Amino acid sequence: MIPAKLSRRSFLRATGLGLACGYFPFILSEARGAAPKAALMAYVGTFSSPLRNMLSTQVDLPPGNGRGIHLFQVDRSTGTLVPTEIFDHPSSPDCLAINAAGTHLYSTNETDKGEDGKSGSIGAYAINRNTGSLTLVNTVSSGGAGPTYLSVHPSGRFLLVANYFGGSVAVIPILPDGTIGRAVEIKKDAGTMGPKRATHAPAGSFAVSGHDIPHAHMIKADPAGRFVISTDLGQDQILVWQFDQRTGLLSPNSPASVSLPPGDGPRHFYFHPNGKWFYALQEEGSNIVLFDYDAKEGKLSARQTISTLPPGFAGSSFTSEIMVSPNGKFVYAANRLHDSIAWFSIGKTGMLTFVGEEWTRGDYPRSFNFDPSGNFLYSCNQRGDAVTMFRVNRKSGALAFTGHYAAVGNPSCIAFLDLAIPSMSAP
């Protein structure tokens, strides 16, 4: 039952049931005033591809150790993950998103072995609201090779997909029953590629990602859903699209993009809860750029650049994930090879100050996420074949390792669903 003074739309927004890989609003698990009795579930996406065809575009990387999507029940007090079920999938369901109603989960399948032999696919799963169990309901083409990221548009009517190896973004309709249709829009990135050496590369870095062809890496709507933002690592650009919420079509904004320093490689981004500050993470430059965001015009204006690595660091490192804490006081960023998660305090104007870092206790943190309470952070250590848990100090931002590991082959993404919050139809 929704509280009397809270509309269905407001309740959905407040509870934050829409979850995405490495990027989700926090669920207020006690929104109804009583301690929840139902389970809190965690879904872990993995790299699980078989050995690649050497004549392919090398989207299907060497055999993944994951088996598909791994389901865990979360101990709310300790953060411990208890394995529950595995949903086998051979094509690397490495990014996951859950709709606002909590009834369906969607996955990118990062492959080029789709129905046309050139594109990956997107899977739609029905969620059993009693157990969290998944049932695959349908699969469609992602509109490009190697889909690496997807998110649910705030309207709940569309999936936004970034095809890394295809260098394209796509809009896929979510049908009333939660299944997905064929893409209504596919935009292929085009332009000049950046250099292999990042402008802000650390001293001694040999980090090289993808400045060979366009590589769409992330796509997400702004909080109002009027504009859609995507990154292209190969072109060192953040693209801004006007979004037609009726048809799902994209059109270039004016300006259509902002450029990052050559070679730095924009990867992921995150909006501050106030909707005015936008933090962009560069994979090869190992830095965060703070932008002011004009929600009326969809414009980004850069204001600060800060390294994700500790002072004096030298060597190779790739960043992977960025998030803002639920209280809006800290930004967290993950460094692969350095294998750390750094945190930064957010000043009154949105400016960042480096505070500290914590070893992930695993190799190559592909992404991380907070549990719905915001008390725990989970690091998906891709090459370490484990998810590790940290308790979050909300006052200082510090992370403290809990000593708990969850064994998962090549974990890529973790998303949460609180079964204590009732399922509702999308507004």
Tell me if residue 383 falls in helix, strand or coil. helix
pLDDT of residue 18: 44
Angle at 229 (CA atoms; ends 223, 231), nearest 5 degrees: 140
Residue 24 has pLDDT above 90, yes or no: no
Does 427 score more than 50 pLDDT?
no
Calculate mean pLDDT across residues 391-407: 98
Res. 50: pLDDT tops 70: no
Place of tokens 């699980």: 48
pLDDT band of 36, cuts 50, 70, 90: low
Residue 239 near residue 189, CB atoms below 8 Å: yes
For 114-148, the pLDDT digits (tens) are 667 688 999 999 999 999 999 999 999 999 999 99
Angle at 198 between CA 194 and CA 203, to 5 degrees: 165
287-298 pLDDT, tens digit each: 999 999 999 999
Q: What is the pLDDT of residue 209?
A: 80
Looking at residue 208, what is its pLDDT?
A: 82
Model confidence pTM above 0.85: yes
Q: Is the pLDDT of residue 426 over 60?
A: no
**Tokens 């739309």 belong to which residue?**
9
Q: Give the per-residue pLDDT at 153.
A: 98
**C-alpha dist (Å) from residue 63 to 47, 184, 261, 319, 366:** 8, 32, 34, 23, 17
How far is Cα 411 from Cα 20, in angstroms, rounded to an integer?
A: 15
**What is the longest distance spanned by two Cα atoms in the chain?**
60
Other CB atoms within 10 A of residue 349 CB: 10
Q: What is the pLDDT of residues 335-354, one digit of tens each?
A: 999 999 999 999 999 999 99
SS3 270: strand
What residue segments make up the domains of the chain, in order of their start? 20-26+36-53+61-418
When mean pLDDT is compared over 29-33, 45-49, 109-113, 335-339, the highest value belongs to: 335-339
| Paired tokens of 382 | 């891709």
Distance (Å, whole) CA 21 – CA 44:
9
Superfamily of chain region 20-26+36-53+61-418: YVTN repeat-like/Quinoprotein amine dehydrogenase (2.130.10.10)
Arithmetic mean of pLDDT over the chain: 89
Lookup: tokens for 59: 């989207």
Percent of the chain with pLDDT strictly greater than 70: 87
- Segment 246-261 shows an average pLDDT of 98
Q: Which residue has the higher pLDDT, 3 or 282?
A: 282
**According to the model, what pLDDT value does residue 5 have?**
39
What's the average model confidence in pLDDT over 205-226? 93
CA–CA separation, 145 vs 154, rounded Å?
Answer: 25
pLDDT of residue 35: 52
Mean of pLDDT values over 357-368:
97
Cβ atoms 66, 407 nearer than 8 A: no
Adjacent-strand bridge partners of 269: 280
Task: Answer yes or no: is pLDDT of 330 > 80.
Answer: yes
Q: Are 245 and 193 in contact (CB under 8 A)?
A: no
pLDDT digits (tens, 9 = 90+) for 163-193: 999 999 999 999 999 999 999 999 999 989 9
Confidence of residue 111 (pLDDT cuts 50, 70, 90): confident
Helices (H) and strands (E) in the chain, counts: 1, 29
Computed over its alpha carbons, how large is the radius of gyration of the chain?
Answer: 20
Note the pLDDT of residue 196: 87
What's the pLDDT at 210? 84
323 to 135, 255, 293, 375, 416: CA distances (angstroms): 30, 26, 17, 14, 15
- Cα 21-42-133 angle, rounded to 5 deg: 110
pLDDT tens for each residue of 90-107: 889 999 999 999 999 999
Secondary structure of 283-326 in HEC code, one letter for each residue: CCCCEEEEEEEECCCCEEEEEEEEECCCCCCECCCEEEEEEECC
Q: What is the mean pLDDT of residues 307-322?
A: 96
Q: Regarding predicted confidence, which is higher, 55 or 159?
A: 159
pLDDT of residue 113: 67
Render 136-180 in DSSP notation, one character per residue. Answer: EEEEEE-SSSSEEEEEE-TTSSEEEEEETTTTEEEEEEBPTTS-B
25 or 272: which carries more pLDDT confidence?
272
Whether pLDDT at 368 is above 60: yes
pLDDT at 21: 72
Q: What are the b/e assignments for 30-52, b being 16+ CB within 10 Å?
A: ebbeeebeebbbbbbbbbbbeeb
Spatial neighbors of 196 by CB under 8 A, at least 6 apart, are 208, 211, 263
